[in-house]
């Protein structure tokens, strides 16, 4: 379908049952205004990314910026945290579906990051009904029925945060002056239009997470967007607070500058560990010295990852900002307590380390992990809401330490390659069916973890890596053989041939995986070609 809703704006495709109340003429007018005002700069900054990547491919590297040295050495701080959200010790994340929103808000976590990005498949109904679900959650009226069970909000719920899509993504369901709208501006614009005043009336404030940025100039653009929206909807500047995910390797060199650009609107920084690993591979994919080991071996304790997280805590607390830790993606097994005991021990160890390092909070993917993580932060924080006052003068991180891929080891195995193939294909299948958060092997996989899988296959094949356990060289032929074997395992596990052949779309999922894992040219994001195949 294609209908005109407001001047220069057309709507396309299936939008779901909530389109009329979300895509009002005034809301669309704001989205169109944002797109017309800021899209040119968004596109320019995306070109900057490609130019920097090209320079690195030609032998360049990354370092702290000489031109912003005064900012790094200056004595300044971000705005004080909003009084409605001073305690962030555990946050849960997930998509914006009704059941997920209710369960996450009832989980006992301090915050719930409702995700329009990596944990969401961008069908029209997902993106539009997700907005409606969040407005109902803010109003306290959201309900859901499923399998004779009723879901509703408890009296006390987590604080809501939302993550719009990154600057690189567009949305084909809304077109402005004939072109697709920026997914970032659509998600943030609709949410802030409908909910800014609602939240302020409840003594709360709009809280966002900002993904995938690669420079402080991209943060500057977000700051301009916030100023524009706040003026447009009539709420005070500084109402919006945004936590930036430091999940690209270029952004790790610009943490101070990112906080500085957003200082009136800053909610701190988050160690987005999965995308960070993907970004490392993507950025240095042509460098044999930057080849990483099995995905599972790149833990947060390997030196180059630890350098990144310690620098993040030091930078945030020096500026009076929250430092948020990374994701624990474990999903409990309902049939194997041994798996659960081992995994919850790992969750506890991970959160104990983060709390001890000075993080003010951290992420989990499942409600059962909330009390495990909470216990570790409670032990360190006690009655204090956070530990922003914990400075880290002992931390001194160099560019060399941030870029030291060899510190992760060189254990590249057939099991690691098989896992990448299996997870990559399964996740793409899930995403094409409208589910952006997929439980695979007791882990919550999203676009970020799938990106690690496919980019690592690309890198290993590109450099002809020799597997440490079998001595076999990684080639396209080997990957295709493993695809055959892993797809058969998936079929046996699912146990439904009709589902596997039709609804699961294995042929298309495999084709897309090969397109992003085996092509000569490295595609920047797997969700971009996959978006062309998404039906809604």
Tell which CATH classification among 1.20.1220.12, 1.10.10.10, 1.10.760.10, 1.10.150.120 matches the domain 412-531: 1.20.1220.12
Instruction: Name the nearest CA neighbour of 120 among 159, 140, 145, 93.
Output: 93
Q: Confidence class of residue 2 from pLDDT cuts 50, 70 and 90? A: very low
Q: Confidence class of residue 198 from pLDDT cuts 50, 70 and 90? A: very high
* This model's pTM is above 0.75: yes
Alpha carbons 431 and 434: distance in angstroms, whole number: 5
- The pLDDT > 70 percentage for the chain reads 97
The interaxial angle of helices 476-494 and 414-432, nearest 10 deg, is: 60
- Structural element, H or E, at residue 341: helix 337-357
DSSP SS3 for 397: coil
Q: Confidence class of residue 7 from pLDDT cuts 50, 70 and 90? A: confident
357-391 pLDDT tens trace = 999 999 999 999 999 999 999 999 999 999 999 99
According to the model, what pLDDT value does residue 336 have?
86
Q: Establish whether domains 2-399 and 412-531 are of one fold.
A: no
Query: Apex CA 238: angle with CA 235 and CA 239, to 5°?
Result: 50
Q: Please report which residue ranges of 410-535 form alpha helices under DSSP H.
A: 414-432, 447-462, 476-494, 497-501, 506-517, 527-531
5 pLDDT above the threshold of 80:
no
According to the model, what pLDDT value does residue 501 have?
65
Q: Average pLDDT of 391-410?
A: 96
**Average pLDDT of the chain to the nearest whole number:** 94
Q: And the tokens for 364?
A: 């989990």
Which whole-number Å values give the CA distances from 153 to 21, 99, 137, 366, 480, in the listed order?
22, 10, 8, 17, 47
Backbone angles phi, psi at 224, to 5 degrees: -65, -40
> Is 163 in the active site?
yes
> Is 446 in the active site?
yes
Domain residues of the chain, as ranges?
A: 2-399, 412-531
Alpha carbons 438 and 423: distance in angstroms, whole number: 10
76-110 pLDDT tens trace = 999 999 999 999 999 999 999 999 999 999 999 99
Query: 143-146 and 149-152: which strand pairing?
Result: antiparallel
337-357 pLDDT tens trace = 988 888 899 999 999 999 999
DSSP SS3 for 242: strand
Q: Which of the following is catalytic: 89, 98, 446, 510?
A: 446
Q: Average pLDDT of 189-216?
A: 98
According to the model, what pLDDT value does residue 4 have?
46
473-487 pLDDT tens trace = 999 999 999 999 999
- The pLDDT > 90 percentage for the chain reads 88
392 pLDDT above the threshold of 80:
yes
According to the model, what pLDDT value does residue 437 have?
80
Q: Average pLDDT of 208-225?
A: 98
* Count of positions (residues) in the chain: 536
278-297 pLDDT tens trace = 999 999 999 999 999 999 99
Question: Do 162 and 191 meet the contact criterion of CB atoms below 8 Å apart?
Answer: yes
Q: And the tokens for 314?
A: 């030091």
What is the torsion angle, in degrees rounded to the nearest 10, for the CA atoms of residue 16, residue 367, residue 113 and residue 89?
170
Q: Confidence class of residue 491 from pLDDT cuts 50, 70 and 90? A: confident
Task: Give residue for tokens 């004939």.
Answer: 178
According to the model, what pLDDT value does residue 530 have?
93
Q: Please report which residue ranges of 58-123 form alpha helices under DSSP H.
A: 69-73, 98-105
Could you tell me what percentage of the chain is helix, strand and coil, using 3-state DSSP and rounding each to the nearest 5? 50, 15, 35
Q: Confidence class of residue 493 from pLDDT cuts 50, 70 and 90? A: confident
According to the model, what pLDDT value does residue 500 have?
65
The total of other beta-carbon atoms located within 10 Å of residue 276's CB is: 23
Q: Average pLDDT of 488-504?
A: 73
Strands (E), 211-303: 241-246, 266-271
According to the model, what pLDDT value does residue 443 have?
74
Tell which CATH classification among 3.40.1350.10, 3.30.420.40, 3.20.20.370, 3.20.20.360 matches the domain 2-399: 3.20.20.360
313 pLDDT above the threshold of 90:
yes
DSSP SS3 for 345: helix
Q: Which of the following is catalytic: 89, 163, 165, 319?
A: 163
124-148 pLDDT tens trace = 999 999 999 999 999 999 999 999 9
197 pLDDT above the threshold of 90:
yes
Q: Average pLDDT of 421-426?
A: 94
258-268 as b/e, with b when 16 or more CB fall inside 10 Å? bbbbbbebbbb
Alpha carbons 314 and 299: distance in angstroms, whole number: 20
Q: And the tokens for 323?
A: 């430092």
227-250 pLDDT tens trace = 999 999 999 999 999 999 999 999
Backbone angles phi, psi at 42, to 5 degrees: -55, -45
Q: Please report which residue ranges of 97-215 form alpha helices under DSSP H.
A: 98-105, 124-139, 183-201
Q: And the tokens for 512?
A: 């897309």
DSSP H helix total and E strand total for the chain: 20, 16
Q: And the tokens for 179?
A: 């072109």
Q: Confidence class of residue 408 from pLDDT cuts 50, 70 and 90? A: very high
Q: Confidence class of residue 424 from pLDDT cuts 50, 70 and 90? A: very high
């Amino acid at each position: 379908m294609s209908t005109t809703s407001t001047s220069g704006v057309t709507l396309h495709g299936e939008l779901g049952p909530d389109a009329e109340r979300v895509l009002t003429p005034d809301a669309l007018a704001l989205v169109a205004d944002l797109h017309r005002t800021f899209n040119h700069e968004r596109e320019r900054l995306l070109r900057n990314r490609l130019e920097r990547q090209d320079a690195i491919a030609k032998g360049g590297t990354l370092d702290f910026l000489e031109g912003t040295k005064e900012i790094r050495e200056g004595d300044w701080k971000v705005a004080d945290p909003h009084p409605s959200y001073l305690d962030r010790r555990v946050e849960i994340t997930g998509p914006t579906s009704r059941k997920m929103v209710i369960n996450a808000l009832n989980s006992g976590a301090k915050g719930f990051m409702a995700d329009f990005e990596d944990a969401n498949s961008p069908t029209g109904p997902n993106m539009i009904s997700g907005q409606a679900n969040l407005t109902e959650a803010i109003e306290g009226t959201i309900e859901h029925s499923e399998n004779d069970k009723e879901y509703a909000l408890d009296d006390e719920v987590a604080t809501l945060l939302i993550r719009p899509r990154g600057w690189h993504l567009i949305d084909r369901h809304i077109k402005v002056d004939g072109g697709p709208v920026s997914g970032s501006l659509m998600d943030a614009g609709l949410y802030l239009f409908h909910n800014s005043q609602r939240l302020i009336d409840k003594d709360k404030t709009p809280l966002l997470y900002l993904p995938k940025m690669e420079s402080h100039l991209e943060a500057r653009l977000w700051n301009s967007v916030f100023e524009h929206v706040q003026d447009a909807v009539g709420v005070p500047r500084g109402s919006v607070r945004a936590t930036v995910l430091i999940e690209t390797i270029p952004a790790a060199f610009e943490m101070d500058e990112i906080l500085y650009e957003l200082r009136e609107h800053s909610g701190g920084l988050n160690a987005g560990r999965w995308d960070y690993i993907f970004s490392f591979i993507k950025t240095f994919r042509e460098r044999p010295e930057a080849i990483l080991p099995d995905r599972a071996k790149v833990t947060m304790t390997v030196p180059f990852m630890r350098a990144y997280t310690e620098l993040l805590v030091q930078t945030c607390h020096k500026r009076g900002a929250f430092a948020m830790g990374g994701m624990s993606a474990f999903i409990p097994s309902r049939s194997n307590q041994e798996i659960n005991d081992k995994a919850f021990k790992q969750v506890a160890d991970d959160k104990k380390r983060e709390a001890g390092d000075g993080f003010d909070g951290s992420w989990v993917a499942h409600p059962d992990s909330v009390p495990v993580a909470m216990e570790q932060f409670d032990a360190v924080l006690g009655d204090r809401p956070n530990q922003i006052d914990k400075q880290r003068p002992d931390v001194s991180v160099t560019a060399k330490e941030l870029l030291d891929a060899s510190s992760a080891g060189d254990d590249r195995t057939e099991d690691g390659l098989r896992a990448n193939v299996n997870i990559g294909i399964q996740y793409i299948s899930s995403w094409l069916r409208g589910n952006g958060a997929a439980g695979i092997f007791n882990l919550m996989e999203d676009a970020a973890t799938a990106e690690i899988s496919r980019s690592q296959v690309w890198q290993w094949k590109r450099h002809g890596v020799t597997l440490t356990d079998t001595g076999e060289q990684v080639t396209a032929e080997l990957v295709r053989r493993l695809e055959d074997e892993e797809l058969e395992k998936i079929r046996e596990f699912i146990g439904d041939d009709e589902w596997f052949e039709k609804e699961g779309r294995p042929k298309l999922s495999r084709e897309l995986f090969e397109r992003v894992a085996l092509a000569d040219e490295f595609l920047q994001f797997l969700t971009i070609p996959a978006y062309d195949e998404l039906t809604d």
